[in-house]
Amino acid sequence: MERVLIIIPTLNERQNLELLFEKLFKITVQFDILIVDDNSTDGTRKFVRTNPLFQKRIFIIERPKKLGLGTAYITGFKWGFKKKYDYIMEMDGDLSHDPKYISGMLNKLKIYGYDVMIGSRYVYGISVINWPLSRLIISYFANYYAKFVLGLKIKDTTSGFVIYKAAALKELPLRKVFSNGYSFQIEMKYRLQKLNKRLGEYPIIFYERKRGKSKLSRRVVLEAAYMVIFLKILPLFSLVWNKK
């Protein structure tokens, strides 16, 4: 039986996890959950550890401080590789990604032979609920910018709702992934496209978090802008280095 791992990075998401778990365990897909927690102070860790499914279908990696989204996922990927999961999924812990889409995403990936399936907000226009206009503008132009500069062939380059074939993900040299914030999602898709992996998109509706505080900041957005340029010119550095 094929095994699915859902990785959920957390930083003070206790108030959202209870409802998220409730929704997740209603779907038909069989999966395990790995929480990668960056030293939450709101009881997130206790909530996970006292769940009846802890160490059966729910697991946790506890990190000593806030170390960033990118390293959280890479830590989770490596854990998933060791446990021999067939599919590894990224998902936010703030209820912005609705579990009802997981079955459709996974089926489309399998049926059409994709290596990566992206829960996309931009397949049919803009499918986002309760975002302020400023956030919509930032997200829309960030996607256009990344697509234009890096030649990405997908519509939602910054989506964090993603299913990977573990076999495809293993081909990626994770030690070379530089991004650790908003740009992590762009870099992952870019590197996998460069490896000629098939990236597909599945239309979703994205919901702005109702509880808790967004982790998106001006610094994170600027990092993404710089990282796109860095990824574009990185092959030039490699070419010069190899000639020495």
Query: Tens digit of pLDDT for each residue in 231-243?
Result: 888 765 543 333 3
The predicted structure's pLDDT at residue 243 = 38
Beta bridge partners of 4: 87
Residue environment code for 128-148, b if the CB has 16+ CB neighbours within 10 A, otherwise e: beebeeeeeebbeebbebbbe
Strands 116-120 and 32-38: unpaired
How many angstroms separate the CA atoms of 230 and 224, rounded? 10
Q: Which one is predicted more confidently, 221 or 166?
A: 166
Contact 153, 237 (CB under 8 A): no
Q: Which one is predicted more confidently, 88 or 244?
A: 88
Domain ranges of the chain: 4-243
* Position 17 confidence tier, pLDDT thresholds 50, 70, 90: very high
**Whole-prediction pTM value?**
0.91
Residues sharing a CB contact under 8 Å with residue 144, sequence separation 6 or more, in sequence order: none
Q: What kind of architecture, by CATH, is found in domain 4-243?
A: Alpha-Beta Complex (3.90)
- What is the torsional sign of CA 58, 63, 66, 69? negative
Q: Which one is predicted more confidently, 32 or 136?
A: 32
The answer to whether residue 244 scores a pLDDT higher than 50 is no
Dihedral angle at the C-alpha atoms of 85, 189, 173, 181, nearest 10 degrees?
-100
**pLDDT tens track for 100-150:** 999 999 999 999 999 999 999 999 888 999 888 888 888 888 888 999 999
